[in-house]
Structure 1
Amino acid sequence: MMDELTAWLNEMEQFRLPRFEELPELDLYRDQLLTLVDKYIGPIWLEDGPVVTTSMVNNYVKNGLLPHPEKKRYTREHLAYLIAITFLKQVVSINEIQEGLEVQTRLNGGIGKAYDFFCDKQELALKMLNHREEGQVLSEKNQSSAYLLVEMATISFATKLVTKKTLMIEKHNSNEKS
């Protein structure tokens, strides 16, 4: 079990998302948009079924997470948002995603910079999983799968908690300004 997990974590270290400038400049139809999201995220996707579906995209547009397509065409901005949303919805609610995207886009000076920052941090987080606890690596003998399950679940909770608190502070601060 641990050998398989170690091999998988080593693969995760190699995972790379395309940066904003590498996303297609041409406008895309929805099926092309879905295909690209699947291509970019598919290598690390563990769930059964497609990474993103047509109904998900429609819901994101309807709920204001994604801008409306222009003449049924999607831009690289749509693709960047959709990639980020796909990761974030594994961790936080749709409302929190919307708030977080607004905050990050504002603080980073636009979707391109915010998206690239997100990609850098996501890749770093995947690398860090393989090199936790001040240089201890997963393959050390003291780390059973039971230990790892608890460690990862508690880290997940802690990071989700910090994410929620940060959003609450940002929301409070932006409400005070307006």
Structure 2
Amino acid sequence: MNELQTWLKQTANYTLPRWNNLPDLALYKDQLITLVEQYVKPVWIGEAPIVTQSMVNNYVKNGMMPAPIKKRYHREQLAYLIVITFLKQVMSMDEIKRGIESETIALKSVESAYNTFCDKQEAALQNLSTNKVPVPEDTELLSSLVIDLVTRTFATKLMTRKILTIGNND
């Protein structure tokens, strides 16, 4: 259980770089990927690559993020890729695309949408360690916690899908 408590404390202190802290440079794809990995790795679980060149190609091809300019990526593409990297863990590619589009329109800029996403993601991670999720002392009770969290995740994902559907009807 100590491992979980330690992890919760680490995630509570996690921060994402805000728009003005993202490099405003022309980056090659490998540099873009390195930066995303650097920003996301502190909260990433698993051995699979965080982002790959083919993933970036697919996101651009599917219109999920702006295309590079002369094979160079800029702050806007970096922000998109950070957000997509988080959201792909819980949403389909179509849902991500619709969600990003609607938030960018609602908040009137990529910068505002990105900074808002960072605020919300950090708050969600901080809430994990502020007793919003009861962490059992007994290891045997972890399975009960897993069921609780999975059912909350499903309910939240269901509500997210409904909201995206409502947004499409408007």
TM-score, L = length of structure 1: 0.90
> What pairs with 1:104-143 in structure 2 (closer than 5 Å)?
104-133=103-132, 137-138=134-135
Secondary structure at the aligned position of 1:92 is classed as coil
- 1:149 paired to 2:154: no
**Aligned-partner Cα distance in 2 for 1:143–1:127:** 25
Partner of 1:176: none
Percent identity, please: 49
Q: What is the CA deviation profile of residues 134-176 of structure 1, one whole-angstrom value per residue up to 9, with x for unaligned ones?
A: xx75366699212210111011101101110110000111xxx
Contact 2:87–2:96, Cα closer than 8 Å, also in 1: yes
Which runs of structure 1 show a deviation greater than 2 angstroms over 4 or more consecutive aligned residues? Answer: 136-144
The alignment covers a number of residue pairs equal to 170
Q: Higher mean Cα deviation, 44-53 or 157-166?
A: 44-53
Equivalent residue letter for 1:168? T
Partner of 2:72: 73
Partner of 1:164: 161
Contact 2:136–2:145, Cα closer than 8 Å, also in 1: no
Gaps of 5+ in 2: none
Equivalent residue letter for 2:142? S
**Aligned-partner Cα distance in 1 for 2:147–2:136:** 16
**Aligned-partner Cα distance in 1 for 2:29–2:118:** 22
Gaps of 5+ in 1: 174-178
Secondary structure at the aligned position of 2:47 is classed as coil
Q: CA RMSD in A?
A: 1.6
Alignment CA distance shift 1:116-1:24 (3 Å): same
Q: Higher mean Cα deviation, 82-91 or 44-53?
A: 44-53
